[in-house]
Amino acid sequence: MRRGKKAEDEATAAAAGDNDPDSATPPKKAKKTKEPEAPILYEDPPDKMTSKDGRDANMKITSWNVDGLRAWVKKKGLDWVREENPDVLCLQETKCAEKSLPADITSMPEYPFKYWAGSDDKEGYSGVAMLSKTEPIKVTYGIGKEEHDKEGRVITAEFSSFFLVTVYVPNSGRGLVRLDYRKTWDVDFRTYLSELDIQKPVVLCGDLNVAHQEIDLKNPKGNKKNAGFTAEEREGFSQLLEAGFVDSFRELYPEQTHAYSFWTYMMNARDKNVGWRLDYFVLSSSLLPALCDSKIRNQVRGSDHCPITLHIVV
């Protein structure tokens, strides 16, 4: 049914928001839409290849939480590794039993010395790996405590002048269900590293599952009761530093903001750079003069973490 002209005019005025002050229903003001904030991205600066005392870097170590080795290989993670070309590659959260490792990585000629650790009880859970161009003097698995060593979280390689430890630290879990266990782990792992440090300096790398300070994550206020940013976990990391170790990235870039190594897959977090710095190279303080650079390769995809790289003189 066709409406009359008057009805059409009234309908048009209502849709447009009639500004007549005598009209019975005042017009609704249109809500202003908030412009989304442009993400602030971290730009990994050029690599520094010289230590403070003028020596040239001669050891390059890369660490990467791959969030499932088989999927990471399919996403061409090894192409980037060949491009980066570290002397030692450390991987965490491999989620792969040794019998199921992809041939693409087990047959890599660039790294003739390969070491794997996985969970005893849960296949496809946790797991770490270390691939090296040169043969270590000795390689050990775990930290010597049965309660911690069933989940395949630690590999230690002894080289001539230092120990290299790669770790996937236990996550405190949703609802902090493993926080008490994590606190025990932090104490025992710190003791393990300190005992190594008595023998030789230590390079520790991996996913430490903690953002140490507020500068190390995008939303500190909203995460104080969440795994990875509880007071207990942060204190555990502080105690590690107090025991004679150094966060290499913060040593070189103490004020650098927006430098993260992990982003959830949800809510487009990576493109928005809503992240956490959970991956570290932690050094014995005696290695500080040998430190050249500590890199966050945040442009590299293939996991919910990005790789990190250390340049050092050994």
The catalytic residue positions are 168, 207, 305
304 annotated as belonging to a binding site for a ligand = yes
Beta-sheet strands, E only, within 176-312: 202-207, 245-247, 279-284, 291-296, 308-312
Distance CA 105, CA 299 (A): 22
18 annotated as belonging to a binding site for a ligand = no
If we measure between CA atoms, which residue out of 156, 242, 244 comes closest to residue 206? Answer: 156
Per the CB < 8 A criterion, the answer to whether 262 and 305 are in contact is yes
207 annotated as belonging to a binding site for a ligand = yes
197 annotated as belonging to a binding site for a ligand = no
Distance CA 212, CA 238 (A): 8
Is 139 in a helix, a strand, or coil? strand
**What 8-state DSSP symbol labels residue 304?**
S
Which residues have C-beta within 8 Å of that of residue 261, sequence separation ≥ 6? Answer: 275, 276, 277, 278, 279, 296, 298, 305, 306, 308
Q: Radius of gyration of the chain from Cα atoms? A: 26
**CA-to-CA separations, 312 to 2, 59, 61, 107, 206, in angstroms, rounded:** 82, 5, 8, 27, 16
93 annotated as belonging to a binding site for a ligand = yes
Binding residue ranges for Mg(2+): 65, 93, 207, 209, 304-305
Binding residue ranges: 65, 93, 207, 209, 304-305
